[in-house]
Structure 1
Amino acid sequence: MTNPYGQQPGQYPQQPYGQPSGGFQQPYGQYPQTPGYGAPQGYPAQPPYGQPQYGQPQYGPIPPLPGQAHIVVPGSQIQFPHTPPLVLATMGSRFLARVVDGLIIGVPLTILIVILQFAIIAGDPSSWWIFILFLPLTSLSVLVYEGTMLATRGATVGKNVAGIRVVTEQSAGQPGGGIGGGPAFTRLATMVLPGLIPCIGGLVELLVILSPFFDEQARQGWHDKAAKTYAISTKAMY
């Protein structure tokens, strides 16, 4: 009887060379593709060479935080994303502005206190305690005068004389624009309200006024940092 498979008794069926048995055929030298070298099934392949991988630190210049300026020249120039470089106000001009504003506020208050003093002495000397009510009057006057002008115009009379304008990121590109009520009164509250603290209040207020000297990058005082404001020069540079 002839074997239909063409094999002699006792021999196994022959397979073509290089092909596995069981009917599975695959070209020689080819293997199933994997997502990436060394990557287990179910995970994405590794990114191409030169591209950052997840979890690796990135290097390069760090952009400034929202509301903060980019330092172009430390202690001299800053820049916001929508403005050209802005020249920072010098400490001499800031001192001049403070003196002029101090005279504008201080002279009327001094006249008022002197008149009140003579009135009390001529009337009822036991009413001296009324002077206690005038202790926060200077701080309140600064808040009203300077806060209103900075909020609407970005400068007080003294700052206009000294060629200074206080700006935020939003107002820096608007010539003559104010910084708004929030930044204006935050800036002044940080500078003025510590003066109401008994005994050490005057020292704290003095340190706040001198704090721009402590910042060599943008000449921001502590009150400027609290309100995210910058004092820039409005005078032409030659």
Structure 2
Amino acid sequence: MIWEIDEKKVVIEGLDADGRPDPAYAAALGLLQAPSGRRAVAGVCDLVAWLLLQLPLWLGAMPLLFKLAGGSISPYGFVNHPGFVLAVVMAAVSFVFSLVYCIVQLAMHGVRGMTIGKAITGIRTVDVRTLERPGFGHVLLRSLILLGASLVPLLLPVFLASPLFDGSGRRRGWHDKATGVWLIDVRSGLDPFDEKRLRVARKMVKAAPAAERAVLPSLATPTDSHAQPEYRPGSRISAGVLGVARPHAADERPAVGLSQATAPVQPAPTDAGQPVLGGFRPADPAVAGPDRAPVVDQGLVSDVPVTQPPAQPVQPPVQAEQPRQVQRPQQPPQAQPAHPVQPEPSPQVAAAQASSSDAEPPVRASAPAVRYALRLDSGESILVSEPVLLGRNPDATSHPGARAIPLADASRSLSKTHMLVRPVAGGVAIVDCGSTNGSGLFHDGVEYSVTAGTPAMAAEGDTIRLGDRRATVVRV
């Protein structure tokens, strides 16, 4: 039996196919090379701090040593000199302080990538491959190389000037390349020792770019009268709304806007081509007869309830110069009974009959308002019908009326009270509540930073970043 051991290999991001560090990846993270001027100032600051620790030696012990070296006193006189004990104490103080200074400098340089001078000038040292702390061994070897170069005349200035001749453009000197380190600027660029920001930057670099939205045809009317429109709808109604009318059967009456209207009376067969006035076809002496009935035009039905007009007595023939009056002929015996029974109108129809001249058409119900929600990267959705306060444990004391919703955050990139989301027309308004890791807004594949306390508009399809979490604005 062959046992296979699964070795967990550490995957280092930012290396090319040959295993060398990729400068483009570091630039995408936001890492910037340290300027040469500030590197020189950092070295001077470290040297000045070390010289200050040598003052006890130079002031308390060196004068007596100069007398011994010049022959002013003998070795016996040097040991029995009244200032010998003070000289030894001052030399010991300088030695101890210098030893502690070197240990602290090496420890800070290896763990945090900075010395006293680098901390003052805003410079950090990182491992060029992992972009993390350089390690105690690398910085110790780098210090020994500079110390050895200082023992050879004119060799130390050459080492210190070697970053100016770096062909890669990253300002790495010979001692930097020998130890695999890189000096970066944390004032203008990203601080890699801020683990949360470095983790967010790596995720942003690995994230796939947002897909571009498809270009839809324009619905605007072309300005040129001879130009053809880009989009031809199936139907256009008189209100200007585009769409296709829903087909219905011949005996089915559309319910839109006719909830309080009575069923129309089916018209009797008439001659096609007769003019229609006010919904009734006037009687023609040539074609009128006892079997002719008024015709109701189905295309002129409105929202006002329709009732059958009251019966009128039959008028005798009138003069030619007088206007013709509509006669109500007798219904044929085979179509309707001699005395048709009128149905009892409903209360709504009776009220409409009582005020037929002053009645107003019924008020149509308005369409429901569009609402939006936040779809989190975990698959959950949060309806934004009121102000919503998001965070690890949001406190709504300073935001009265807002609904506090805690979000799960394993990486602890969310602040306790991270963001306020309010519903607005066309989307939602987001306000960063002074979070530690900040917030962002992705629109058309581009991220825009959200300033704390300043509202930002997020439309449908935009993505909101809260620390390491993501939420997409969707329409409900």
TM-score, structure 2 as length reference: 0.29
1:56 is aligned to none
SS in 1 for 2:154: helix
Distance 2:40 2:56 in 1: 24
The residue type paired with residue 170 of structure 2 is: A
| 3-state SS of paired residue (1:166) | strand
Q: Bigger radius of gyration, 1 or 2? A: 2
Q: Which has the higher strand share?
A: 2
Matching of residue 108 in structure 1 with residue 61 in structure 2: no
* Residue 112 of structure 1, CA deviation: 1.6
Deviations along 1:144-198, one digit per CA (max 9) or x if unpaired, are 453232112210011011010000046624xxxx4211111111112111222xx
Over residues 3-23 of structure 1, what are the superposed CA-to-partner deviations in whole Å (9 max), with x where a residue is unaligned? xxxxxxxxxxxxxxxxxxxxx
Is 2:103 the counterpart of 1:150? no
Determine which of 210, 215, 225 is the counterpart of 2:166. Answer: 215
Looking at structure 2, the residues matched to 118 and 220 of structure 1 have their Cα atoms a distance apart, in angstroms, of 42
Distance 1:160 1:119, change over 3 A: same
Structure with bigger RCO (C-alpha 8 Å, 6+ apart): 1
Distance 2:49 2:57 in 1: 13
Shift of 1:92: 0.8
Question: Distance in 1 between the 2:17 and 2:160 partners?
Answer: 25
Matches within 5 A, 1:188-203: 188-196=143-151, 201-203=152-154
SS of residue in 1 equivalent to 2:58: helix
Relative distance call for 1:213 and 1:145 in structure 2 (3 A) is farther
Unpaired segments of 5 or more residues in structure 2? Answer: 1-14, 79-94, 190-476
1:58-79 deviation line (CA, Å, top 9, x unaligned): xxxx93754x53223xxxxx61
Does residue 187 in structure 1 map to residue 138 in structure 2?
no
Mapping 1:117-196, distance limit 5 Å = 117-120=62-65, 125=73, 144-169=103-128, 172-173=131-132, 178-196=133-151
Amino acid at match of 2:119: N
What is the distance in 2 between the residues matched to 1:187 and 1:225? 10
On the 8 A contact 1:105/1:141 being kept in 2, the answer is: no
Determine helix, strand or coil for the equivalent of 2:131.
Answer: coil
SS of 1:223's equivalent? helix
> Gaps spanning 5+ residues in structure 1: where?
1-61, 73-77, 129-136
Q: Which moved more, 1:111-120 or 1:208-217?
A: 111-120
Partner of 1:63: 16
Q: Residues 25-66 of structure 1, C-alpha deviation per residue, up to 9 Å, x if partnerless?
A: xxxxxxxxxxxxxxxxxxxxxxxxxxxxxxxxxxxxx93754
Query: What percent identity do the matched residue pairs reach?
Result: 25
**SS of equivalent residue, structure 1 residue 202:** coil
Aligned pairs for 1:4-19 (under 5 A) are none
SS at match of 2:34: coil
Q: Distance in 1 between matches of 2:145 and 2:105?
A: 13
Work out which of the residue numbers 87, 112, 120 in structure 1 matches 2:32.
87
**How many pairs does the alignment contain?**
154
Q: CA deviation at 1:218?
A: 1.3
Q: Would the aligned equivalents of 1:190 and 1:226 in 2 still touch at CA under 8 Å?
A: no
Change in CA separation of 1:120 and 1:207 when aligned onto 2, cut-off 3 Å: same
- Residues 220/167 of structure 1: CA separation in 2 closer, same or farther (3 Å cut): same
Whole-Å Cα distance in 2 between the matches of residues 162 and 227 of structure 1? Answer: 22
Amino acid at match of 1:202: P
Amino acid at match of 2:135: G
1:125 Cα deviation after fit? 4.2
